[in-house]
Amino acid sequence: MPRLDYTERNVWRAPSRSIPTARRIEIRTIWNGVLSKPRDLIGPYRLARLIRVGSTCAVWEAIKGENERFALKVLRGDLRDNRQEINHLKHEFEVAHKLKHPNVIRVHEFTMDGKTPYLVLELYREQNMKLGLRAGYEKLAFYASKIIEQSAQAMYHLHEHGWVHCDIKPDNILLSEEGDVKLIDFTIAQRIRKGISKLLGGARKIRGTRSYMSPEQIRGQALDARADVYSLGCVAFELLGGKPPFTANTPDELLQKHLTGTIPSIQVLNENVTPEASNLLKRLMAKKPENRPNSMWDFIKELRTVKLFKKNPRLPQEKLMLDPDQFSDIDSLKKTGE
Ligand SMILES: Nc1ncnc2c1ncn2[C@@H]1O[C@H](COP(=O)(O)OP(=O)(O)OP(=O)(O)O)[C@@H](O)[C@H]1O
Ligand SMILES: [Mg+2]
C-alpha cells in the first residue's frame, strides 16, 4: 500500500461558557494562534464570529460595510509563510470561483491582508452534516432523498467544470434545517483526467479522508467523477444508517476494507430502507469504478426512480442539527478514527 498523506483536519469549536475551564484555555490558545496578532479586522472585513478552527484555517463570519455578511477562511498565523498552505487556499479559489450553483457555496475572492491569506466565501448560516448526524441520523430521514440529490447535483456541477472534489464527507456538506445542501471545501479537488492523460502524471500525493475514500484514490490512481460517486455512496450510507460503511481499529485496516472488504448492506442498520435503495447504494460503493453509475447525472436519474424507505419517515419535530457547543469534534474524531 502506498504511503499516505491524509488531510486529517481536526476541528475545534469556539470557546463557550458550557465548556470546562481547562478545555476553554486550550481552545483559546488555539484560537489566538489563528491570527498572529489577535485583532478584529481583516482587509475591509470585520470579524464577527468564529465559526470553526481547523488544522490550517479558521472560518469566521465577517461583515463588510454596513451589514454585508461573508464567511472568511483565514490561514492560521503560524502558517502564513507556508507556501504549500497558501497554495492550497489559492487552489480552492481556482477550483471554485467559476462555480455557480444553488447547492455549491460561492467562493468570491482569494486575497491577502498584509501577509495573511484568506478566502472570501458566501456565508451559509447552517451547520455541517456531521453535526446533523451526531444529533441523530433518524431525524434526517425525512429529508434524506433531498439531501442526497442536492449533494449529487452540486457534485455534478463541479464535474461538469472538470474537477473531482476528492473530499466528499459530512463535514464538507453544509445542511439547513429544511434539508437544503451547500457543498464546500475544494482544497484537494483534482482535474478530471480523460483519455491519454489518465495514463500520464504518475503517482501523485494521496489525500482524502479515510472513511469515505474510493479504492482508486487510496491507490493514487488517476481519478474521475466516479471517485466522488463512491464517496457519496459512503455519505449516503451514513445518512441512512448512522455510521459509515466501513469502520476499523487501525487506519490501515480501514483502507484495506475500502480496497477489498465486502460492501455492507444498509438494511442491517436500517430495516426501513428498501432493497432497491440498498442495491443502488452498493453500486455507488462498487470497488471498480466501471461497476458504479457512470456519472453523477446517471446516478441522479436512477435515484429519482427509487423509493428510499418502505415506510415514509415523519417530519422531524425537533431541530435537525446539534448546536456546535454541544459537540466536540476532537472527541468524536478520536472515537471514529477518521
Ligand atoms: N461558507 C461557509 N459558511 C458557513 N460555515 C462554513 C463555511 N465554510 C466553512 N464553514 C464551516 O467551517 C468548517 C470548515 O470549513 P472547510 O471544510 O472549508 O475548512 P477546512 O480547511 O477543510 O477545515 P478542516 O481542517 O476543519 O477540514 C465547515 O465544516 C463548516 O462548519
Ligand atoms: Mg473541510
pLDDT single digits (tens) 75-121? 998 998 999 999 999 999 999 999 999 999 999 999 998 889 999 99
Residue 34 has pLDDT above 80, yes or no: no
How do residues 187-206 score in pLDDT, each as one tens digit?
A: 999 999 877 666 665 556 78
How do residues 277-305 score in pLDDT, each as one tens digit?
A: 999 999 999 999 999 999 999 999 999 99
Which pLDDT value is given to residue 204?
65
In the chain, which residues fall in CATH 3.30.200.20? 21-124
Band of pLDDT at residue 54, cut at 50, 70 and 90: confident
Band of pLDDT at residue 31, cut at 50, 70 and 90: low
Q: Ligand 1: distance of its center to the CA of 312 in Å?
A: 32
CATH T-level assignment (fold) for domain 21-124: Phosphorylase Kinase; domain 1 (3.30.200)
Cα angle 162, 166, 170 (rounded to 5 degrees) comes to 125
SS3 170: helix
Task: Tell me the C-alpha to C-alpha distance, in Å, between residue 189 and each of 167, 184, 202.
Answer: 7, 11, 17
10 lines ligand 1 (CB under 6 A): no
CATH code for residues 128-303: 1.10.510.10
Q: Ligand 1: distance of its center to the CA of 52 in Å?
A: 7
Query: Which is the closest atom of ligand 1 to the Cα of 123?
Result: 3
122 lines ligand 1 (CB under 6 A): yes
Residue 258 has pLDDT above 90, yes or no: yes
pTM above 0.85, yes or no: yes
Task: Tell me the C-alpha to C-alpha distance, in Å, between residue 254 and each of 115, 130, 168, 333, 334.
Answer: 39, 19, 17, 14, 14
Region 172-190 average pLDDT: 96
In the chain, which residues fall in CATH 1.10.510.10? 128-303
The protein residue with its alpha carbon nearest to ligand 1, atom 4, reads 124
Residue 327 has pLDDT above 80, yes or no: no
- Return mean pLDDT, the chain: 86
Residue 8 has pLDDT above 90, yes or no: no
How do residues 126-142 score in pLDDT, each as one tens digit?
A: 899 999 999 999 999 99
Residue 16 has pLDDT above 60, yes or no: no
235 lines ligand 1 (CB under 6 A): no
* Closest ligand (CA of 173): 1
Task: Tell me the C-alpha to C-alpha distance, in Å, between residue 315 and each of 147, 179, 304.
Answer: 14, 11, 20
